A and B are shown apart, each in its own frame.
Chain A
Amino acid sequence: MKKHLIPAAVLTLVMLVFFTVIYPMAVWGIAQFSPNWGKGEIIEHEGRHHYANIGHSFIRDDYFWSRPSAVDYNAGGSGGSNKGPSNEEYLASVQARIDTFLLHNPGIDKSQIPVDLITASGSGLDPHISIQAAEVQVARVARERNLPEDTVSELVASQTEKPLLGIFGPARINVLKLNLALDNLSE
């Protein structure tokens, strides 16, 4: 063991330089050519900036709602609820979310509520909702904004992100982009 100790320590130090300085600096250098210099994709809007990939909390009736979040969309951290599927307390909170949704969206039957709107995401920062989750909110948003429902429906359709190359993965809607488009429409 003694014979190996010094060589092992020196080897560790030279490899440290290679793998924690040269390798990340090379990646960093190339990332400077990516959108926003590798600092995360930004959307500028009315003097404020937002991260396209980080969801926002939307709870006002005149915005499309985001999914429930275990960390309230504070991206200084991240986290899911980690509730098990049979947890009674958890199931009661899901029921409460359904009741709240129905209260704010009169005329909607509960069979129209998609599951993503009443369950918390893994990261607590999910920027997306499903297409159904946007459609089921159209009537409410249109009423609150005094817009025709068709106009809002068209907006939802135009904000729909298709599966990758049209064939891989789910279609989805970025809630922040949808609500920004909504604000632009109302002005």
Chain B
Amino acid sequence: MNTELIGIVVMFTAAIVLAIPFGKYIAKVYGGEKMGLDPIFNPIEKLFYKTSRIDPSSPMDWKQHMVAMLTINMVWFLLGMLILMTQGSLPLNPDRNPSMPADLAFNTVISFVVNCNLQHYSGETGLSYLGQFWLMFLQFVSAGTGMAAAAVVFRAFREKTSSSLGNFYDFFVKSCTRILLPVSFLIAVILAFDGTPMTFEGKDTIVSLEGDTVEVSRGPAAAFVSIKHVGTNGGGFFGVNSAHPFENPSYLSNMVEMVGQLIIPLAMVFAFGYFIRRKRLSWMIFGVMTVGFLMLAIPNILMEVNGNPAIGKMGIDNTLGAMEGKEVRLGAAASGFWSIVTTVISTGSVNSMHDSSMALSGMNELLAMMINCFYGGVGVGILNFFVFIILAVFVSGLMVGRTPEFLGKKVEAREMKIAMIIALIHPLMILVGTGLATAFPEQGASTLNNPGFHGFSEILYEYTSSSANNGSGFEGLGDNTLWWNISTGFVLILSRFLPIIGPVAIAGLLADKRFIPEGEGTLKTDTSTFGLMVFAVIFIVAALAFFPALALGPIAEFFSM
């Protein structure tokens, strides 16, 4: 058991230690500074811009950024629908998997365009290798989109007063080529040598020692599994994601995938500080995020290690922990830790089945996605946190009776309205969706895999995961129905683009305002006092809004056991 705990500590520490210099690197990338990798990437990027006739140096204001972002996302959506609905007759399909029906294609494309990777299909039977590659492309560019949006916000606070905030294509392409690609490539190579397949051959057939004939799905998984983590996408190549012994063959691969998914969300926090030259602010943000993260992760590790009390009562040896839905090579502790990492940072890849985790572990997984800003997904995590900072600045301003300011800019009614709307969209999407699916049992209840309170949690989890753009699931839910495909599809779109546009708009509006130098009465935002304030706002807005729903699901289940 000790070796399992040491493994977790080392994974987490390694991610933080690597994230600090990587954050500095990211800040250099967005600052357009010279770097050692220029000779490799400059020609590639030039080629991209030359063919598409884009001038990456022409400045954009926040609105132009958003128009460019939405346009290219629409292109991906349309092209994606075309590919997934015709993949059955396209090449690279050795297993002869069929084309997707329209509703499933709609859900799948949206879900990968918005970096969620909710999967209502199983990779082994639902996609050709061409389809997988298209989704892998979306894993790169959707992560790049989120990071580009964060870069706009970074830029807005670097200049004293300016409406030109860099160029969207510049931020986006560099995110993909200079940040996501090198890390993904390195991890893909490690995984390939650790046993993850990287082949274009289709299913193999084997005969087991007891004489059963079974098939074994293979495919070009290593390249896919690495970007799925690095871009905090989370969509698995195979149905069970990183619980699959091909996607996650050993404890080593588990550690590599863990560091791979944590590194960019952590590094973005440090990149912000380096970029605007306020490192203390980064540490305040990092501190609040880490406290929140540990408050969710530690109980989960303990609950999973202690095992299912209902099975313990049967008198067997329960010391390995809650092993239903978990793999022996990874163990209960690393699975409990992963279940929170993947939900706080919106990866949504799983190495154990969350549906089978303990009742309150399930609650923490839900809470992690409901809060959705303790580290958060690549780029978007810090945008979500930014909204809470703005709210905290306003509340603190009211408490001391001064005009609220953040980094020398007055926060006024317009910014506050946007921040409030963004903060409330998330509960609105989750609770309305869950309410509707619960109200129509033929759509909701009939698709459940478990009765009672846990069944309600399955519905709640699906909408929470969609709205948080997370992509994990209580996978017992039979979610490939018209209802689930369409309803979560709309939740996905709204919960992706509004929380990107909102913070970028706030940052753009603030960037336009006159810079007020710090004085006696300025509220310091890089202190632990202010950190506590942000934490309180997050707790009140995000956590309490969901308490009644949690009480009906995981909390009720816990007390019924």
Q: Measuring CB to CB, which residues of chain A are less than 8 angstroms from any residue of chain B?
A: 1, 4-5, 7-12, 14-16, 18-20, 23-24, 26-28, 30-31, 34-35, 37-41, 48-60, 63, 67, 73-91, 94-95, 98, 110-116, 118-130, 132, 163-164, 166-172, 176, 179-180, 183
CA distance A35 to B192 in the complex (A): 9
Is B285 an interface residue, CB under 8 A from the partner? no
Task: Evaluate whether A84 and B557 lie within 8 angstroms (CB atoms) in the complex, with A27-B185, A114-B320 already known.
Answer: yes
- On chain B, the residues within 8 Å of A167 by CB distance are 3, 6-7
Decide if A73 touches B320 in the complex (CB within 8 Å): no
A102 CB to closest chain B CB, in angstroms?
10
Within 8 Å by CB of A115, from B133, B207, B318, lies B318
Decide if A8 touches B71 in the complex (CB within 8 Å): yes
Within 8 Å by CB of A80, from B122, B133, B325, lies B325
Decide if A122 touches B195 in the complex (CB within 8 Å): no
Task: Evaluate whether A98 and B239 lie within 8 angstroms (CB atoms) in the complex, with A38-B222, A122-B327 already known.
Answer: no
Decide if A172 touches B328 in the complex (CB within 8 Å): yes
Which of B185, B222, B317, B476 has the most CB atoms of chain A within a 10 A radius of its CB? B317
- On chain A, the residues within 8 Å of B136 by CB distance are 19-20, 24
Is B407 an interface residue, CB under 8 A from the partner? no
B6 CB to closest chain A CB, in angstroms?
6
- On chain A, the residues within 8 Å of B452 by CB distance are 86
A164 CB to closest chain B CB, in angstroms?
5
- On chain A, the residues within 8 Å of B207 by CB distance are 48
Task: Evaluate whether A126 and B317 lie within 8 angstroms (CB atoms) in the complex, with A27-B189, A50-B206, A76-B214 already known.
Answer: no
**Segment touching A, from B352-360, B463-471, B496-504:** B352-360
- On chain A, the residues within 8 Å of B561 by CB distance are 85-86
CA distance A164 to B11 in the complex (A): 13
- Extra 17 A-B pairs, beta carbons < 8 Å, given A77-B239, A129-B328: A11-B54, A11-B173, A18-B177, A27-B192, A31-B198, A39-B218, A40-B199, A77-B122, A81-B353, A82-B325, A83-B355, A85-B454, A115-B318, A119-B311, A164-B252, A167-B6, A171-B3
Within 8 Å by CB of A170, from B67, B251, B476, lies B251
- On chain A, the residues within 8 Å of B250 by CB distance are 164
Sampled A-B contacts (20; CB under 8 Å):
A1-B67, A4-B72, A18-B177, A27-B198, A34-B198, A38-B198, A50-B209, A51-B204, A53-B249, A74-B214, A76-B124, A80-B475, A81-B476, A83-B355, A85-B356, A86-B453, A120-B325, A121-B243, A167-B6, A170-B328
Decide if A8 touches B238 in the complex (CB within 8 Å): no
- On chain A, the residues within 8 Å of B400 by CB distance are none
Decide if B220 touches A24 in the complex (CB within 8 Å): yes
* Chain B 246-275 interface residues, beta-carbon cutoff 8 Å to A: 246, 249-252, 254-255
CA distance A57 to B193 in the complex (A): 26
B507 CB to closest chain A CB, in angstroms?
21
- On chain B, the residues within 8 Å of A168 by CB distance are 3, 6-7, 10, 251, 255
- On chain A, the residues within 8 Å of B246 by CB distance are 40, 53-54
A178 CB to closest chain B CB, in angstroms?
11
Q: Measuring CB to CB, which residues of chain B are less than 8 angstroms from any residue of chain A?
A: 3-4, 6-7, 10, 44, 47-48, 51-54, 67-68, 70-72, 75-76, 79, 122, 124-125, 133-134, 136-137, 140-141, 169, 173, 176-177, 181, 184-185, 188-189, 192-193, 195, 197-201, 203-204, 206-210, 212, 214-218, 220, 222-223, 238-240, 243-246, 249-252, 254-255, 307-308, 310-311, 314-331, 334-335, 350-353, 355-359, 449-454, 457, 474-476, 557, 560-561
Decide if A183 touches B137 in the complex (CB within 8 Å): no
Decide if B53 touches A10 in the complex (CB within 8 Å): yes
In the complex, number of A-B residue pairs with CB atoms less than 8 Å apart: 361
B15 CB to closest chain A CB, in angstroms?
15
B470 CB to closest chain A CB, in angstroms?
17
CA distance A15 to B79 in the complex (A): 13
- On chain B, the residues within 8 Å of A163 by CB distance are 3, 7, 251
CA distance A141 to B16 in the complex (A): 47
CA distance A107 to B169 in the complex (A): 70
Decide if B209 touches A77 in the complex (CB within 8 Å): no
Decide if A82 touches B475 in the complex (CB within 8 Å): yes
Which of B75, B173, B184 has the most CB atoms of chain A within a 10 A radius of its CB? B75
- On chain B, the residues within 8 Å of A116 by CB distance are 320, 323, 328
CA distance A48 to B474 in the complex (A): 37
Query: What residue in chain A is nearest B475 (Cβ atoms)?
Result: A82
Decide if A169 touches B329 in the complex (CB within 8 Å): yes
Decide if A86 touches B359 in the complex (CB within 8 Å): yes
CA distance A87 to B3 in the complex (A): 31
Decide if A169 touches B3 in the complex (CB within 8 Å): yes
Decide if B240 touches A80 in the complex (CB within 8 Å): yes
Decide if B176 touches A82 in the complex (CB within 8 Å): no
Decide if B329 touches A84 in the complex (CB within 8 Å): no
- On chain A, the residues within 8 Å of B318 by CB distance are 115
Decide if A111 touches B210 in the complex (CB within 8 Å): no
Decide if B217 touches A56 in the complex (CB within 8 Å): no
- On chain B, the residues within 8 Å of A87 by CB distance are 450-451, 454
